[in-house]
A and B are shown apart, each in its own frame.
Chain A
Amino acid sequence: MYCEFLRRVLPIALASCVSAAAQAGTVLLQSTTSTQNSGLYDALLPQYTAATGDRVRVVAVGTGQAIRNARNCDADVLLVHAKAAEEAFVESGFGRSRSDVMYNDFVLIGPVANPAGIGSDMSVSEGLRALYDARAPFASRGDDSGTHKKEIALWLGASLAPEQHSGDWYLETGTGMGATLNIAVESNAYTLTDRATWIQFGNKQDHEIVLEGDESLFNQYGVIDVDPTHCPNVDHASATRFIKWLTGEPGQAAIAAYRVDNQQLFFPNAAP
């Protein structure tokens, strides 16, 4: 009876509130934050809605949380950037199939004064080594996000274990990219971020990119349709339609066309 009350009364009470309730073509997209914070969806989704009439609702959280939410079936589509975790998600039967969508790259940002002396010609491993030796403050996401997973892999690649210095110069913020950038800026720390978020970030103060271009900084975004056999309530038809558009010619062109300050933030690379 209580459920019945919620189902009937609340939506009626809110009907004036909300332009339209969920209709046939509504895609719930669990996404990483960088794609939302960079403004990509604001450019992309109206085009999709105009083309198909479908609506896309984006919940932007860290990759780790997005995957967990999708595992709870609270998503029709998952768009994140942690390829290994994405493949595991599909293999465990939560996702139907994974496709590449686009890429950009990670960059290491730090104070202009660059106390660790990281050179722009260094490799990532060398840069991290310099940082480690200088005990320069470094802000880590520490939240199981795609960026965090990448950062861990990079430290591992450099055979360094900064976690033992956690709380000293290695600062695990446990929050999103934006909050971590704010902390890095205020505490004169270095941090790893995806380029799109950095370009769009409005509080750079005296921070800049200190290292970029290394091959291992490649950042691949993938899209997955949540498996309807695992989650019978997902709108799989709408999900498939959206993914087809995103990885198809119109979506890829729209991604390539999105620019901030004349810089392209994402590079489409879906398999044709």
Chain B
Amino acid sequence: MHSFSEAFAEAASLLLSFDPALLEIVSLSLRVSLLAVLIAALIGLPLGALLAIGRFPGRNLLTIVVNTAMGLPPVVVGLVAYLLLSRAGALGPLELLYTPTAMVIAQTVLVMPIIAGLSRQSFVELHSEYREQLQLFGLSTRAQLKVLIWDARYALVTALLAGFGRATAEVGAVLMVGGNINHYTRVMTTTIAMETSKGNLAVALGLGMVLLLIAFAVNALVHSVRVRAERAAYV
């Protein structure tokens, strides 16, 4: 198909030109998604650990809820976030709709269950290995969470990456609450959607390749860290 060769050329020229508009979009994408993943990790990792080791009523129900939420459709999250953040909504007075902050919130909601759900599995495995030692040493739940999060860190990075991938790749939620406003809330995916709708398929595909390239770079970086850890047998 002719679009592909054009798209490669387009991607190359986009990258080589260091087009400031492109850089702006890429950097906003990264910053919104990284911040969302950071906040989601701060909530999701302790939640995942708590679901793995905690004993409290409703734990199984909460686990099911988290696992279900791992598959939340972005447009649904976007719609709910829109309804809440709209000036007519419950959080309207915050004036957050159509801001990068709103996009961070929506992506955090999308990503947090993924991080919590995936990390829970890692914590379950690690905890079966550590349970007796942690208990014998009389560690408080909080101290146990710290040990588990630290010692599972290489496995947890995979969960964070999955969350980051989801955040950078989704378009439904950021489009609804961000509005794809030029120079303000326009990110990679909303630009791709917009260029597609303008029939600029080569540009859209080129941008898609840039997105993939970034995802590749991030994965390569994390993988190399992991491989180094594996070589030292810490995983």
Q: Enumerate chain A residues within 8 angstroms of B100, measured Cβ to Cβ.
A: 14, 17-18
From A10, A28, A201, name the one whose CB has the most chain B CB atoms within 10 angstroms. Answer: A10
- Roughly how many angstroms separate A69 CA and B85 CA in the complex, as a whole number? 12
Q: Return 9 A-B CB contacts under 8 Å, by A number.
A: A17-B35, A42-B182, A58-B181, A178-B194, A178-B198, A201-B199, A202-B203, A233-B87, A233-B93
Chain A interface (Cβ within 8 Å of chain B)?
Answer: 3, 6-7, 10-11, 13-14, 16-19, 22, 28, 33, 37, 41-42, 57-60, 69, 71-74, 176-179, 181-182, 185, 200-204, 231, 233-234
- Roughly how many angstroms separate A33 CA and B28 CA in the complex, as a whole number? 23
Contact B35 A13 (CB under 8 A): yes
- The chain A residue sitting closest to B108, CB to CB, is A10
- Roughly how many angstroms separate A37 CA and B31 CA in the complex, as a whole number? 26
- A10-B105, A72-B87 known; A202+B198 contact, CB < 8 A: yes
Q: Enumerate chain B residues within 8 angstroms of A181, measured Cβ to Cβ.
A: 199
- The chain A residue sitting closest to B179, CB to CB, is A59
- The chain B residue sitting closest to A233, CB to CB, is B87
- The chain A residue sitting closest to B24, CB to CB, is A19
B230 an interface residue at 8 Å Cβ cutoff? no
B54 an interface residue at 8 Å Cβ cutoff? no
Contact B88 A204 (CB under 8 A): no
- A17-B100, A22-B95, A28-B98 known; A58+B198 contact, CB < 8 A: no
B97 an interface residue at 8 Å Cβ cutoff? yes
B104 an interface residue at 8 Å Cβ cutoff? yes
Q: Enumerate chain A residues within 8 angstroms of B200, measured Cβ to Cβ.
A: 202-203
- The chain B residue sitting closest to A11, CB to CB, is B101
Nearest chain B CB to A21's CB is how many angstroms away? 8
Q: In residues 79-104 of chain B, which contact A (Cβ within 8 Å)?
A: 86-89, 91-101, 104
Contact B199 A59 (CB under 8 A): no
B4 an interface residue at 8 Å Cβ cutoff? no
Contact B182 A3 (CB under 8 A): no
Q: Enumerate chain A residues within 8 angstroms of B234, measured Cβ to Cβ.
A: none
B183 an interface residue at 8 Å Cβ cutoff? yes
Q: Enumerate chain A residues within 8 angstroms of B88, measured Cβ to Cβ.
A: 71-74
Which of A6, A19, A41 meets B101, CB within 8 Å?
A6
B222 an interface residue at 8 Å Cβ cutoff? no
Contact A233 B95 (CB under 8 A): yes
List the 9 shortest-distance A-B pairs measured between CB atoms, nearest first: A178-B197, A203-B199, A59-B179, A73-B87, A202-B199, A72-B88, A201-B199, A202-B200, A10-B101
From A71, A200, A203, A204, name the one whose CB has the most chain B CB atoms within 10 angstroms. Answer: A203
- Roughly how many angstroms separate A40 CA and B94 CA in the complex, as a whole number? 31
Known: A6-B96, A16-B31, A59-B181. 11 other contacts (CB 8 A): A17-B32, A18-B184, A58-B179, A74-B86, A74-B87, A176-B197, A178-B199, A202-B200, A202-B202, A203-B201, A234-B87
- Roughly how many angstroms separate A7 CA and B91 CA in the complex, as a whole number? 10
Q: Enumerate chain A residues within 8 angstroms of B31, measured Cβ to Cβ.
A: 14, 16-17
Contact B201 A10 (CB under 8 A): no
Q: Enumerate chain B residues within 8 angstroms of A10, measured Cβ to Cβ.
A: 96, 101, 104-105
Provide the B176-199 mask, 1 if CB < 8 A to any CB of A, else 0: 000111111000000000101111
- The chain A residue sitting closest to B202, CB to CB, is A202
Q: Enumerate chain B residues within 8 angstroms of A202, measured Cβ to Cβ.
A: 198-203
- A28-B98, A178-B199 known; A231+B87 contact, CB < 8 A: yes
Q: Enumerate chain A residues within 8 angstroms of B101, measured Cβ to Cβ.
A: 6, 10-11, 14
Q: Enumerate chain A residues within 8 angstroms of B105, measured Cβ to Cβ.
A: 6, 10
- A6-B101, A7-B94, A10-B104 known; A37+B87 contact, CB < 8 A: no
Contact A57 B184 (CB under 8 A): yes
Provide the B31-64 mask, 1 if CB < 8 A to any CB of A, else 0: 1100100000000000000000000000000000
Contact A74 B197 (CB under 8 A): no
Contact A73 B86 (CB under 8 A): yes
- The chain B residue sitting closest to A17, CB to CB, is B31
- The chain B residue sitting closest to A175, CB to CB, is B197
Q: Enumerate chain A residues within 8 angstroms of B95, measured Cβ to Cβ.
A: 22, 233
Contact B180 A59 (CB under 8 A): yes
Which of B86, B196, B202 meets A179, CB within 8 Å?
B196
Nearest chain B CB to A207's CB is how many angstroms away? 10
Q: Enumerate chain B residues within 8 angstroms of A17, measured Cβ to Cβ.
A: 27-28, 31-32, 35, 100
Provide the B123-154 mask, 1 if CB < 8 A to any CB of A, else 0: 00000000000000000000000000000000
Q: Enumerate chain A residues within 8 angstroms of B35, measured Cβ to Cβ.
A: 13-14, 17
